[in-house]
Amino acid sequence: MIEAIEVRAIVGDKPVSRDRVRAWESRRNRAVLGKLVSRLGPRALAELTPDPAVEQILAAPLDAQRTTLTAIKTGLGHAGILAMLKRELDLSDRIARAGVAMSRGRAKHAITRLEVPGYSAERFAAWFDNLTIANDETAMVDACPDHYLLRGLPDGRQEVVETTGGSPAAARFLVDYTVSDTLTIPIDPRYPIQIAGHAVLDDGLVIGGVRHQFRDNDGTCEALLTVQFPASVPGRLIHQHQWHLATEFSNWLIAAAPTAALS
C-alpha cells in the first residue's frame, strides 16, 4: 500500500523508519491473532471472519490483516472481549495495584515523537477529539493490534482494554481527559495543543496517564506523545510501549489525512 502521507517516527531518542514501525505492528498482529485463535477455537473464529485460516490471514498485506483483526474483535462485542480476557484482566489489575504501591509516587515515561510534513496538527487534534466524542470504536481499535476495546462511557471517561507495551497480559483501565493534575509528564509550552488525562482503575486508583502534545511547525505537524507508568514497570515494557505509540498514532494520522493534510 502507498500511504498518503509521510510519517517520521522517533522512538525514545532514535529515529526509526516507517517500515520498522509496520514490522512491529506485523509482529503484534501475529501475537494477537495467535491469542484469538487459541482462545476462540476454529469454529468460533469461522463465525467472525470468512477466512479463518491463520496463515492466510498473516500472508495478506498488513492493512488487510489489520481489517481482519478489527472485524474479529468487533464481532466478539464488548461482552465477548471482556469474557475472553477475564483472567488476564484480573491479573493485570492485581499487578497494577502492586506496581503503584511499590513505586511510591514515582513514575516512568514512554516517549515517542512523530513528524508529518504538509499536515495540520490543529486539524488532526480536532479529528482525534471527534473519535472520542462520536465514540468511533472501530477507528480506535483499528489503529493497533494490541487494542481490544476503546469506548466512551456515559460519565465521559474512556474505557480501554489493551496490551500495554510488551506486557504478556491485556489490561483494563479508564482514562479521564478532564483530570491531569496527577501527571508528572511536563507540559512543553512549545506545543499549544494538549490531550491529557489520568488513567484509573474502577475504584479510582491512579495507575498512570497520558499527555499527548501537538504543534504546527512551518507546515509540519509535530507530535510529542507520552504515557506515564508507575516507576516499577520494567524498562522493556516502557520501550515496547513507545513502539505501540508509534504504531497507533501513525495509523491515526494516516486515517485523518483526508481532513488534516494541507494539500
pLDDT of 51 strictly over 80: no
Buried b (16+ CB within 10 A) or exposed e, 222-255: bbbbbbbbbebbeeebbebbbbbbbbbbbbbbbb
* pLDDT tens, residue by residue, 135-170: 999 999 999 999 999 999 999 999 999 999 878 899
pTM of the entire structure? 0.95
Mean pLDDT of 201-207: 97
Mean pLDDT of 33-53: 84
Instruction: Specify the higher pLDDT residue, 187 or 4.
Output: 187
Instruction: Specify the higher pLDDT residue, 41 or 55.
Output: 41
3-state secondary structure of 194: strand
* Spatial separation of the C-alpha atoms in residues 38 and 113, rounded to whole Å: 35
Strand arrangement, sheet containing 193-200: 14-16, 8-11, 107-117, 220-230, 206-217, 193-200, 170-176, 158-163, 147-152
Q: What does the block give as the cell for 80? A: 465477548
Please identify, in words, the CATH class of the domain defined by 8-19+86-260.
alpha beta
Mean pLDDT of 9-23: 96
Question: ∠ CA(232), CA(235), CA(238), 5° rounding?
Answer: 95
Q: What does the block give as the cell for 152? A: 466512551
Amino acid at 112: T
pLDDT (0 to 100) of residue 132? 86
pLDDT (0 to 100) of residue 186? 96
